[in-house]
Amino acid sequence: MALNTTIPHAFLGSPEAWQGFVGEAQKYMPSSGRLALLAFVNIPLIAIVLNVLRQLFLFRDKSLPPEVFHLVPYFGSAASYGNDPIRFFTDCQKKYGNVFTFVMLGRKMTVALGAKGNNFILGGKTANVSAEDAYTHLTTPVFGKDVVYDIPNERFMEQKKFVKFGLSTDNFRAYVGLIEKEVSDFIDRDPAFRIYQINDINEWGAFDVLKVLQEMTILTASRTLQGQEVREGLDKGFSDTFTDLDGGFTPLHFTFPNLPLASYRKRDAAQKKMSNFYVDIVKKRREGKSMTETDMITALMECKYRDGTPLRDHEIAHIMIALLMAGQHTSSTTGTWTLLHIADRQDVQEALYQEQVKHFGQPDGSFRLPTYEELKQLPVLDCVIRETLRIHPPIHSIMRYVRADTPVPPTLAAPSKDGTYVVPAGHYFLASPAVAQIDPEVWRDGAKWDPGRWSDADGEAQKAFKQYYDESGEKIDYGFGAVSKGTDSPYQPFGAGRHRCIGEQFAYLQLGVLILTVVRKIELRLPGSVPGPNYHTMITMPKDPRTMLYRRRRFD
Ligand code: HEM
Ligand SMILES: *[C@@H]1O[C@H](CO)[C@@H](O)[C@H](O)[C@H]1NC(C)=O
What is residue 9's predicted lDDT score, i.e. its pLDDT? 35
Pick out the chain residues at pLDDT < 50.
1-23, 25, 197-198
What is residue 27's predicted lDDT score, i.e. its pLDDT? 52
Instruction: Let me know whether 309 and 438 are in one domain.
Output: yes
Backbone φ, ψ for residue 140 (5° rounding): -65, -40
What is residue 38's predicted lDDT score, i.e. its pLDDT? 67
Name the residue of 437, 501, 506, 509 to mutate for ligand 1: max ligand atoms within 8 A of Cβ: 501
From residue 491, give the alpha-carbon distance in Å to each of 80, 495, 501, 528, 532.
25, 9, 14, 29, 21
Which of 17, 42, 58 marks a domain boundary? 58
Instruction: Let me know whether 376 and 281 are in one domain.
Output: yes
What is residue 360's predicted lDDT score, i.e. its pLDDT? 98
In a domain, 427, yes or no: no
The letter for the amino acid at 539 is I
The domain of 252 spans 144-397+432-552
Which ligand 2 atom is nearest residue 127's CA? 1
pTM of the model: 0.91
Cα 412 to Cα 539: distance, rounded to the nearest angstrom = 28
Instruction: Let me know whether 231 and 341 are in one domain.
Output: yes
Q: Which residues of 288-321 are buried (b: 16+ CB within 10 A; e: fewer)?
A: eeeeeebbbbbbbbebeeeeeeebebbbbbbbbb
Q: Is 493 helix (H, G, I), strand (E, B) or coil?
A: coil
Are 283 and 261 spatial neighbours (Cβ–Cβ below 8 Å)?
A: no
In a domain, 66, yes or no: no
- Give the residues surrounding ligand 1 with Cβ less than 6 Å away: 131, 160, 323, 326-327, 330-331, 334, 393-395, 398, 493-495, 499, 501-503, 506-507
In a domain, 112, yes or no: no
Are 453 and 390 spatial neighbours (Cβ–Cβ below 8 Å)?
A: no
From residue 350, give the alpha-carbon distance in Å to each of 354, 363, 477.
6, 19, 42
What is residue 199's predicted lDDT score, i.e. its pLDDT? 53
What is residue 544's predicted lDDT score, i.e. its pLDDT? 93
Instruction: Let me know whether 32 and 159 are in one domain.
Output: no
- What CATH number is associated with residue 183? 1.10.630.10
Number of domains observed in the structure of the chain: 2
Are 539 and 335 spatial neighbours (Cβ–Cβ below 8 Å)?
A: no
Q: How far is the CA of 331 from the centre of ligand 1 (A)?
A: 10
In a domain, 415, yes or no: no
Cα 196 to Cα 328: distance, rounded to the nearest angstrom = 27
In a domain, 118, yes or no: no
**325 alpha carbon, closest ligand:** 1
From residue 388, give the alpha-carbon distance in Å to each of 132, 529, 537.
29, 16, 19
Name the residue of 388, 494, 509, 510 to mutate for ligand 1: max ligand atoms within 8 A of Cβ: 494
What is residue 200's predicted lDDT score, i.e. its pLDDT? 56
Q: Which residues of 361-394 are buried (b: 16+ CB within 10 A; e: fewer)?
A: eeeeeebeebebeebeebebbbbbbbbbbbbbbb
What is residue 35's predicted lDDT score, i.e. its pLDDT? 66
Residues whose CB falls within 8 Å of the CB of residue 264, separated by 6 or more in sequence, listed in order: 141, 248, 253, 258
What is residue 484's predicted lDDT score, i.e. its pLDDT? 79
Q: How far is the CA of 494 from the centre of ligand 1 (A)?
A: 6
What is residue 108's predicted lDDT score, i.e. its pLDDT? 97
The residue among 419, 513, 539 whose CA lies nearest residue 99 is: 419
Instruction: Let me know whether 194 and 302 are in one domain.
Output: yes
The region, left, alpha or beta by phi > 0 then psi within -120 to 50, assigned to residue 479 is left
Instruction: Let me know whether 255 and 387 are in one domain.
Output: yes
DSSP 83-112: H-HHHHHHHHHHHH-SEEEEEETTEEEEEE
CA angle at 533 for the pair 450 and 354, rounded to the nearest 5°: 35
The answer, yes or no, to whether any atom of ligand 2 lies below 6 A from the CB of 404, is yes
Which of 19, 42, 58 marks a domain boundary? 58
In a domain, 76, yes or no: no
What is residue 195's predicted lDDT score, i.e. its pLDDT? 58
Which of 42, 58, 74 marks a domain boundary? 58
What is residue 453's predicted lDDT score, i.e. its pLDDT? 97
The answer, yes or no, to whether any atom of ligand 2 lies below 6 A from the CB of 37, is no
Cα 363 to Cα 178: distance, rounded to the nearest angstrom = 24
Instruction: Let me know whether 151 and 40 are in one domain.
Output: no
